[in-house]
Structure 1
Amino acid sequence: MSGKKVLKYACDLDKSVTVTNFERRGWTCVGNDEDWNFYWATVQSVRNLFSVDNSYRMTDDQVVNHFPNHYELTRKDLMVKNIKRFRRDLEKEGNPLAEKDETGRYIHLDFIPVTFMLPADYNLFVEEFRKNPSSTWIMKPCGKARGIGIFLINKLSQLKKWSRDSKTNTFTAPSAKDTYVISRYIDNPLLIGGKKFDLRLYVLVTSYRPLKCYMFRLGFCRFCTVKYNASTTELDNMFVHLTNVSIQKHGDDYNQVHGGKWTVHNLKVFLEGTRGKEVTDKLFDDMHWCIVNSLKAVSGVIANDRHCFEVYGYDIIIDDNLKPWLIEVNASPSLTSTTSSDRIMKYKMINDTINVVIPPGELPDVRWNKVPAKESLGNYDLLYDEDLAQTDILAQDVKGRLTTTIPGSRAGKDRQRLAQATWK
């Protein structure tokens, strides 16, 4: 062991999938106020760490698992605001990606449902609602997670009731914690076995400028326990509409063994068998496209601190036309294991994340170029590397979207094709 420096870790989450990983590497546990090299922190701790009131300065051998203002992507209202601004900016530049069809809908960047902020956009929402009064909308508090405070409406009177419940009769802006987003509900979800599901995909970002991100191959589908029914009488039944495990596990039909989950690999095999390989490949490419562009939308506003990396939990719903919709992005995707396969998958995710962000067998080093060897990637695939993409694309005409797809292609196996496929 010739004086090799032992890596010291701090961890705010007492979860077996994190702690076991650190212990198996022979790391030493220290308090977050001590001299650590690797800190798996809560978002609150990271806020304190980067607070202007805090004179803490990180050294070159320290890394932490959140960017200072990750909420630009992970708060529901800010994500929508940033994506809308990104589309407008591209439109002003005359970028072909911002092309619209004759109805004014974005052709390439239409990957979030029509969404408004309440109370600020109330009048705009009413105008949109009246164009299609039979539509259903889903309301979510901006700062909450795990399905808390979500409800569906299909009448304006239901919104007025909510407004009165919030102790206000007018739509004057209450404090930020009372802000909601209201989105057109995807009422034609792709069903499997008659049930609605969504996807939880894990995306690791090691840098925003230049953007460098990886897709974890072992994502999963979360199923509702009750068959889907678009009937307006079922609007209050969250076992039909919300896939959050924190809600579904209270249902009578919840299965403790598989936890209502299916691997992304199983979904792919199922879709290839029922819909064909070509459309399945296109669906997965569209999902990658939507993730990369959501990251591009915030890349200019995120504080790209070189001590930071982040594993985001992306929630995506697929409709019955096999179109993916980005619902939200989570800054702290749950590391609680509901099943044994869940535990194994999350352990691998933490393990592979560490192997990507820290040079193998070494201490963190923020001066490192952040290009891991392909054998360090484990279950991660390179999703987008801005440096690579610009090098490759300089020689190409990038008008419109390329038709190449990257169905699960391994990073490093064919980097050029990957770079072309993802960055259209």
Structure 2
Amino acid sequence: QSADMLETLPLMNSRSWVSRYVGLPDLCDKGTLARILLSCEDFAAEGTFAFNPKTWVLPDHLESLRAKLLKSKKTYIVKPEDGSQGDGIFLVQGARDLDIKLSTKANKAAIVQRYIEKPLLLGGIKFDFRLYVCLIGGSLEAPPRIYLCREGLGRLCTEAYEEPSGRNMHKSMAHLTNYSLNKRSERFEHSGETMEEVFSS
């Protein structure tokens, strides 16, 4: 897709609109995005990427991660590098737990990050927001204009959140907000059948 865009952009006039920008597929791939952010940290001023949690890319950083897990009692989240819709995501506590869970995976390429154990909750439930922006222009001389859509999506887990432990780490509907997972729950509720109903409530 990026190659097609690079060929098309020079042929477009200044009033053209595009729904995707060059490199978007790379930013949507967990592994590529993690590698980009890790590379940028090496060149940026200290603290610039403080928003990005400590990240390990497997299998490249497996030994470094194991060393960390041997000393840490914290929880870590493991996401398949090429996964989507919550498939294959799991939580681990300790190096042995990681090794056992990875041993069941044919493809061990994954992204691992510290799990936020005390997240902001909505009525005891984990949630996230998906917001949309329009990016216009931008160059070395002038920053882009960014417009934020007034409407967005809120996604909620369907089970009450509990701090991760060996008793509940397998409860994906309490830890992951992915629609594709939570829609299978008996507790799942649509906020409306149409976009008009969704945004009028």
Q: Deviations over 1:254-286 (max 9, x none)?
A: 112x27xxxxxxxxxxxxxxxxxxxxxxxxxxx
Percent identity over paired residues: 26
Cα distance in 2 for partners of 1:164, 1:200 equals 33
Distance 1:191 1:251, change over 3 A: same
Q: CA RMSD in A?
A: 3.0
Mapped pair 1:67 → 2:21? yes
Q: Deviations over 1:321-380 (max 9, x none)?
A: xxxxxxxxxxxxxxxx776444789xxxxxxxxxxxxxxxxxxxxxxxxxxxxxxxxxxx
Secondary structure, in 3 states, of the residue corresponding to 1:64? coil
Distance 1:215 1:144, change over 3 A: same
Cα distance in 2 for partners of 1:232, 1:144 equals 24
- 1:197 is displaced (CA, Å) by 1.0
Aligned counterpart in structure 2 of residue 206 of structure 1, from 136, 149, 168:
136
Aligned counterpart in structure 2 of residue 235 of structure 1, from 140, 161, 169:
169
**Residue 178 of structure 2 corresponds to which residue in structure 1?**
244
**Residue 121 of structure 1 corresponds to which residue in structure 2?**
61
Q: Deviations over 1:114-164 (max 9, x none)?
A: 1100000111112222331x2111111122222122111113223223443
Cα distance in 2 for partners of 1:340, 1:157 equals 49
Cα distance in 1 for partners of 2:35, 2:20 equals 21
Cα distance in 2 for partners of 1:56, 1:193 equals 47
**Residue 158 of structure 2 corresponds to which residue in structure 1?**
225
**Residue 136 of structure 1 corresponds to which residue in structure 2?**
75
- TM-score, normalization: structure 2? 0.81
Distance 1:203 1:56, change over 3 A: closer
Cα distance in 1 for partners of 2:194, 2:168 equals 27
Secondary structure, in 3 states, of the residue corresponding to 1:204? strand
Cα distance in 2 for partners of 1:251, 1:185 equals 23
Q: How many residue pairs are counted as aligned between the two chains? A: 196
Structure number with higher relative contact order (C-alpha < 8 Å, ≥ 6 residues apart): 1
Secondary structure, in 3 states, of the residue corresponding to 1:205? strand
- TM-score, normalization: structure 1? 0.41
Mapped pair 1:49 → 2:13? no
- 1:220 is displaced (CA, Å) by 3.6
Q: What is the letter of the counterpart of residue 234 of structure 1? A: N
**Residue 32 of structure 2 corresponds to which residue in structure 1?**
78
Equivalent positions of 1:83-232 (< 5 A) are: 83-91=37-45, 98=46, 106=47, 109-132=49-72, 134-167=73-106, 179-207=109-137, 209=139, 210-212=142-144, 213-230=146-163, 231-232=165-166
Cα distance in 2 for partners of 1:246, 1:136 equals 23
Equivalent positions of 1:271-282 (< 5 A) are: none
Secondary structure, in 3 states, of the residue corresponding to 2:184? coil
Cα distance in 2 for partners of 1:124, 1:208 equals 39
Distance 1:214 1:166, change over 3 A: same
Gapped regions of structure 2 (runs ≥ 5)? none
Cα distance in 1 for partners of 2:118, 2:81 equals 24
Q: What is the letter of the counterpart of residue 88 of structure 1? A: D
- 1:242 is displaced (CA, Å) by 0.6
Cα distance in 1 for partners of 2:101, 2:194 equals 34
Cα distance in 1 for partners of 2:89, 2:18 equals 31
Distance 1:136 1:338, change over 3 A: farther
Distance 1:253 1:163, change over 3 A: closer
Q: Deviations over 1:53-109 (max 9, x none)?
A: xx9974437543112321332222222222233332123xxxxxx2xxxxxxx3x63
Based on CA coordinates, which of the two structures has the bigger radius of gyration?
A: 1
- 1:202 is displaced (CA, Å) by 1.5
Q: What is the letter of the counterpart of residue 134 of structure 2? A: L
Q: What is the letter of the counterpart of residue 77 of structure 1? A: G
**Residue 170 of structure 1 corresponds to which residue in structure 2?**
none
Secondary structure, in 3 states, of the residue corresponding to 2:189? coil
Gapped regions of structure 1 (runs ≥ 5)? 1-45, 92-97, 99-105, 168-173, 260-336, 346-424
CA contact (8 A) 1:135 1:154 kept: yes
Cα distance in 2 for partners of 1:338, 1:47 equals 33
Q: What is the letter of the counterpart of residue 196 of structure 1? A: K
Distance 1:111 1:338, change over 3 A: farther
